[in-house]
Amino acid sequence: MNDLVPIVVAGIAQGVPIFVVASGLTLIYGVLHVLNFAHGGFFLIGALIVTTTLQGPSLAAFGLSVLLAGVGVMLIGVVSEVAVFRPLYKAGSTVSFLGAFALFLALVGIALLIWGTNPRTVAYPEALNGSFDVGGARVGQYDLALVAVGGVIAAGLYLLLTRTSLGTRVRAVSHDRTMALALGIRVQRVSTSIFAIGAFLAGVAGALIAPVSSIDESLALSSDYMLPAFIVIIVGGLGSVPGALIAALALGVLESALFRVAPSLSGFSYYLVVALFLMFRPQGIFGSPSRSTQMAR
């Protein structure tokens, strides 16, 4: 028990930023059918904005810069959707994916130009710097805060998707784009909105990990956050937000447990899990078997 609590909390805390990034990715995939590779760039820029805007150690200042990072990245996301993805939509998903890749390179390059190559760090907000004593085990306050934030974001997304008219339209478009168009849904506007939300989440996730990680351009494709996010949406099933949530938290806990039990294996758990899923359930937890996965069998 004493060992279990910190493992689970640390695992969930690690899974939360991954889930926040992955939920945006999976939403964008559901609506636009593009795996938005540029998300790594959004994530990196979110973290970098915090290094610039954060003034002082107070919790309010930190919260404000997290929001600023989210909004700033959201603007970049909207501009890139209109400028890059809209013209490419007709050309098919491979070309869009390459467009996303080009955007990724350009965003990372621009970030390097603005913030330089030196790694940056951000201090923990003062109020969250300590640790709690839970049943004799020490649990970091920041980790607990991450768990709470993750809960809020998951609940917010759930309400957004099920209780608002935008959410209904998003689900309609990702279910059947042509039918949604025929019913008079402005699909382009839904695409832009979902891209804005996804980018906002990526910016927030980047901002949230700023105190935990050293921030340089390798963050855009780091094996701690971005690659697991891509793996999580494959394991959870492309387009499924609940799948992304379950996969992110489960994999976070697994990774954190492995780190304690068998440190030499840590870092590999994501890759092992995705390999197992591909062997036995290529469509992921909640995905439906697509034409291509059916063919593969």
Partner 1 sequence: MTTIGRRFPVVTRSGVHVLIGFAVVAVLMPVFFGGSPLFTWTTAAVWVLFAMSTSVLFGWTGLLSFGQAAFFGIGAYTMALIHENRPETPGLVMLLAAALVAAVVAAVFALFALRTSGAEFAILTLVLAQVLWLLTYRVSWLKGEDGFHGLFSVNIISNPLTSDLDLWYYTIAVVGFCVWLLWLLHRSTAGMAMRAVRDDPWRSAALGINVRRVQVCAFAVSAALSAVAGALLAQGQGVVSPGMLSFAISGEILVACLIGGMSRFGGPILGAIVLIWSQTLISNLLHDSSMFVGLLLLVIVIALPQGLVSLPGRVRNRRRASGPPSIPPAPTGSLADESVPDGSPVSAGDEEALR
Name the residues that contact partner 1, by CB under 8 A: 29, 34-35, 84, 87-88, 91, 93-95, 97-99, 101-110, 112-113, 117, 221, 223, 227, 230-231, 234, 238, 264, 267-268, 271, 274-275, 278-279, 282, 292-293, 295-297
The residue (of 141 and 266) whose beta carbon lies closer to partner 1 is 266
CB of 205 to partner 1, least distance (A): 18
Q: Where are the beta strands (DSSP E) in 67-164?
A: 131-134, 137-140
The residue (of 68 and 233) whose beta carbon lies closer to partner 1 is 233
CB of 296 to partner 1, least distance (A): 4
Classify each residue of 128-151 as buried b or exposed e, where b means 16 or more C-beta atoms within 10 Å of its C-beta: beeeeeeeebebbebbbbbbebbe
CA separation for the pair 107, 261 (Å, rounded):
38
Which two tokens mark 185?
């849904």
CB of 119 to partner 1, least distance (A): 15
The residue (of 21 and 146) whose beta carbon lies closer to partner 1 is 21
Q: Which of 229, 209, 232, 233 is nearest to 45 (CA)?
A: 209
CB of 252 to partner 1, least distance (A): 17
* Helix, strand, coil tally for the chain in percent (to 5): 75, 5, 20
287 Cβ partners below 8 Å, 6+ apart? 236, 237, 238, 239, 240, 243
CA separation for the pair 101, 74 (Å, rounded):
18
CB of 23 to partner 1, least distance (A): 17
CA separation for the pair 296, 122 (Å, rounded):
46
The residue (of 112 and 134) whose beta carbon lies closer to partner 1 is 112
CB of 212 to partner 1, least distance (A): 20
CB of 114 to partner 1, least distance (A): 10
The residue (of 223 and 288) whose beta carbon lies closer to partner 1 is 223
What burial class does residue 221 get, using C-beta atoms within 10 Å of its C-beta: 0-12 exposed, 13-18 middle, 19+ buried?
Answer: middle
The residue (of 68 and 238) whose beta carbon lies closer to partner 1 is 238
CA separation for the pair 247, 18 (Å, rounded):
10
The residue (of 143 and 217) whose beta carbon lies closer to partner 1 is 217
Look up tokens 């478009």; give the residue. Answer: 173
CB of 190 to partner 1, least distance (A): 21
The CA-atom distances, in angstroms, between 216 and each of 116, 117, 157, 227 are 9, 6, 29, 16
For the chain, the farthest-separated pair of C-alpha atoms sits apart, in whole angstroms, at 60
The residue (of 55 and 223) whose beta carbon lies closer to partner 1 is 223
